[in-house]
Amino acid sequence: MSLACATCPVRDRAACSVLSDEEREDLSQRGRHRTLEPGEVLFHAGEKVTACATLTSGALKVSTTDAEGRERILALVHPAGFVGEFFQPFDDHEVVALAPSEVCLFAGEDIETAMSEHPALGRALLRRTQEDLHASRTLLALTGKPDAQARVAGLILGFAQAASDSPCHPAQEFDLPLSRAECANMLGLTIETVSRKITALEKSGAIRRHGKRGIELVDPARLSLMAEV
């Protein structure tokens, strides 16, 4: 196989998991594997190619840069997630690796033909896209909060959920996947405000910090309370 599906860490969670082994083998012929270093760009903004990818390990961010050069993070992609828009030709979003990452890369047309040959794949991608849409709207609701404290608390809670394996309970200790600048870009705040609010959360006793990115949830209830102000 051109792609190591057999040993793929997300083989039963990614969109392609709905395929049989033969179908998957068929699809893997058309794709290619790629490794990304932190900061490396998978899709550039404005490029017209219709391509897409499944993240097998690491983490990606989807971002856009406005006229004044401010970056805005629109979404994070976790392993088994999917990025790329193959219908409309060009996209002003950029996809960049946050951590050392590995992806399965496909041309848009290949995915389209694969979808017509294997209808289950289309349904799986639809489901993933609906989840992405839901996540995007959740982030929209979060960034709409008038209070910066609530936004930061909500972001940390979201990261805690994502870092946990169990779907409902947040992880009790984890690392922030983003730098302060990236947190700020995600929430529509400045670096300084994010930093201040995090220290305020620590002083209030809701969390504790370990190093620059380590977060420990000492009082999750208080944290979610602060997220709702």
Partner DNA sequence: CGCTGTTTTGACGTCCATCAAACACCGTGG
Partner DNA sequence: CCACGGTGTTTGATGGACGTCAAAACAGCG
Under rule CB under 7 A, residue 225 binds DNA: no
Could you give the 3-state DSSP secondary structure of residue 12? coil
Under rule CB under 8 A, residue 21 binds a copy of itself: no
Q: How far is the CB of 136 from DNA (least distance, A)?
A: 21
CB 163 within 8 A of CB 174: yes
Amino acid sitting at position 4: A
CA distance 20 to 211: 45
Under rule CB under 7 A, residue 193 binds DNA: yes
| Of positions 131, 173, 192, 216, contacts a copy of itself by CB under 8 A | 131
Going residue by residue from 156 to 195, which x/- string records binding to a copy of itself, judged by CB under 8 A? --------------------------------x-------
Under rule CB under 8 A, residue 130 binds a copy of itself: yes
Question: Nearest-5° angle of CA 98, CA 103, CA 104?
Answer: 160
Q: How many CB atoms lie within 10 A of CB 194?
A: 24
The partner in contact with residue 29, picked from a copy of itself, DNA, none with C-beta cut-offs of 5 to 8 angstroms by kind, is: none
From 114-122, 129-137, 164-172, 181-189, span contacting DNA (CB under 7 A): 181-189
Q: Which residue has the tokens 């409902």?
A: 168
CA distance 55 to 80: 5
β-strand partners of 97 = 60
Under rule CB under 7 A, residue 140 binds DNA: no
| Of positions 164, 190, 204, 224, contacts DNA by CB under 7 A | 190
